[in-house]
């Protein structure tokens, strides 16, 4: 359905999957206007779901993982190429019982279950730190393009929830999103090197859209910046094009990411004919449905 990294020139493939899989809006955990916005734009900004105490607990546990020498030397920890600062920590729900509880919070799981129309599991979790002065960019990409090609995720039936743990402003490299881009799958050019994840998690060079495709989508839909205060949730579709600039300010820009995938959409062998990425990047052996919400 969504071939990529196979052809000599990029292709645009119209989305073949729903954006919202549930039909009964009376049972939705989100207001109808928000559902309409998510279907049209591919993302939502949600405030005030967590109280100040909950956000402070998340910040404290985030700092604890970042400052741990043991965590820094684990495979789950990705460092910046030049500075050696911690860029991301993967599988945080397994490294921290606290973050496991947050990922399973019924307030989050209900939204994921409704939008995906199924029980869900955690395909990936991570903390992105983007430290001050040296936090490097994440170039434009669709998560689904990578998850389909390198992980074997069959269909567009997954979403991400990013919880801001520091102020995200226009200067410290906030998440940038292209509204409506979730409706178009861009088949990227280039082959996937062996063990691509070893370099792509530091700087992605493969599986990124071409300039002309990006220009066309940006001219049609513009760019929105996910600025906001700690506790804001950025909920976005798996195929939405997004990225962020480097952070050359003194203020870190840190976010907690949970990727929810439908149980019926669990990964198979990678569609790019590569070896599967490690379990800490993409759940394969440890797939388990989250506790059913009330």
Domain residue extents for the chain: 42-265
pLDDT at 293 over 50: no
pLDDT at 205 over 80: no
Query: What is 42-265's CATH number, 2.60.120.620, 3.40.50.300, 3.40.50.1380, 3.20.20.150?
Result: 2.60.120.620
The two structure tokens encoding residue 7? 């052809």
pLDDT at 161 over 90: yes
pLDDT band at 146 (very low <50, low <70, confident <90, very high): very high
pLDDT band at 130 (very low <50, low <70, confident <90, very high): confident
Cβ distance 183 to 39 under 8 Å?
Answer: no
Cβ distance 177 to 40 under 8 Å?
Answer: no
Which whole-number Å values give the CA distances from 271 to 3, 151, 152, 199, 263, in the listed order?
8, 8, 5, 20, 18
Measured between alpha carbons, how far is 167 from 169 in angstroms, rounded to an integer?
6
pLDDT of residue 212: 97
pLDDT band at 202 (very low <50, low <70, confident <90, very high): low
Measured between alpha carbons, how far is 161 from 133 in angstroms, rounded to an integer?
26
* Average pLDDT, rounded, for the chain: 93
Measured between alpha carbons, how far is 98 from 58 in angstroms, rounded to an integer?
8
Measured between alpha carbons, how far is 266 from 119 in angstroms, rounded to an integer?
11
The two structure tokens encoding residue 179? 């509204």
In the chain, helix, strand, coil percent, each to 5? 30, 25, 50
What are the pLDDT digits (tens) for 52-85? 999 999 999 999 998 898 888 899 988 777 777 7
pLDDT of residue 6: 93
The whole model's pTM is what? 0.94
Lowest mean pLDDT among 88-97, 184-193, 194-203: 194-203
pLDDT of residue 18: 98
Exposure of 75 by Cβ count < 10 A (0-12 exposed, 13-18 middle, 19+ buried)? exposed
- With helix as H, strand as E and coil as C, how does 40-74 read? HHCEEEECCCCCHHHHHHHHHHHHHHHHCHHHHCC
Measured between alpha carbons, how far is 185 from 289 in angstroms, rounded to an integer?
27
Q: What percent of the chain has a predicted confidence (pLDDT) above 90? A: 81
Measured between alpha carbons, how far is 142 from 135 in angstroms, rounded to an integer?
21
pLDDT of residue 74: 92
In the block, tokens 């070896």 appear at 275
Cβ distance 20 to 28 under 8 Å?
Answer: no
pLDDT of residue 41: 98
């Amino acid at each position: 359905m969504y071939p990529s990294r196979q052809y000599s020139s990029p292709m645009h493939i119209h989305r073949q999957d729903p954006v919202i899989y549930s039909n009964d809006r009376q049972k939705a955990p989100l207001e109808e206007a928000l559902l309409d916005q998510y279907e049209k734009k591919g993302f939502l900004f949600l405030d005030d779901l967590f109280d100040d105490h909950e956000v402070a607990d998340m910040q404290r546990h985030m700092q604890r993982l970042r400052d741990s020498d043991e965590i820094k030397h684990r495979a789950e920890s990705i460092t910046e190429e030049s500075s050696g600062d911690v860029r991301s920590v993967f599988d945080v729900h397994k490294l921290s019982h606290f973050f496991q509880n947050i990922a399973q919070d019924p307030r989050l799981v209900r939204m994921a279950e409704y939008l995906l129309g199924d029980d869900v599991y955690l395909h990936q979790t991570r903390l992105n730190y983007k430290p001050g002065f040296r936090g490097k960019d994440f170039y434009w990409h669709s998560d689904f393009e990578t998850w389909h090609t390198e992980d074997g995720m069959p269909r567009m039936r997954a979403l991400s929830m990013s919880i801001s743990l520091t102020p995200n402003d226009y200067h410290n490299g906030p998440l940038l999103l292209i509204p409506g881009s979730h409706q178009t799958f861009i088949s990227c050019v280039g082959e996937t090197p062996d063990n691509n994840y070893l370099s792509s998690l530091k700087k992605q060079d493969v599986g990124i859209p071409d300039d002309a495709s990006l220009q066309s989508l940006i001219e049609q839909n513009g760019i929105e910046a996910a600025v906001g205060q700690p506790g804001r949730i950025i909920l976005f579709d798996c195929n939405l094009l997004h990225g962020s600039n480097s952070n050359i300010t003194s203020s870190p820009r840190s976010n907690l990411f949970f990727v929810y995938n439908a149980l019926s959409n669990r990964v198979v062998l990678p569609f790019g004919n590569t070896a599967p990425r490690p379990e800490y990047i993409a759940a394969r052996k440890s797939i388990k449905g989250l506790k059913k919400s009330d």
